[in-house]
Amino acid sequence: MTEALKLNRLLKEQGENSSYHHTSNKKDGASDLKKDMSSQRAMSLTSSPHELRRQVPERSGPDRKDDELVLTWNRIQESHMYQNKPLLPFEEWNIDFSELTVGTRVGIGFFAEVFRGMWNGTEVAIKVFLEQDLSAENMEDFCNEISILSRARHPNVILFLGACAKPPHLSMVTEYMEMGSLYHLIHVSGHKNRLSWPKRLNMLRDICRGLMCLHRMKIVHRDLKSANCLVNKRWTVKICDFGLSRIMTDASMRNSTSAGTPEWMAPELIRNEPFTEKCDIFSFGVIMWELYTLHRPWEGVPPERVIYAVANQGSRLELPEGPLGSLIADCWAEPNKRPSCEEILTRLLSNELSLYYK
Active site amino acids: 223
> Does residue 127 have a known ligand-binding role?
yes
Number of Cβ within 10 Å of residue 210's Cβ equals 24
Binding site as annotated, residues: 127
Annotated binding site for ATP: 127
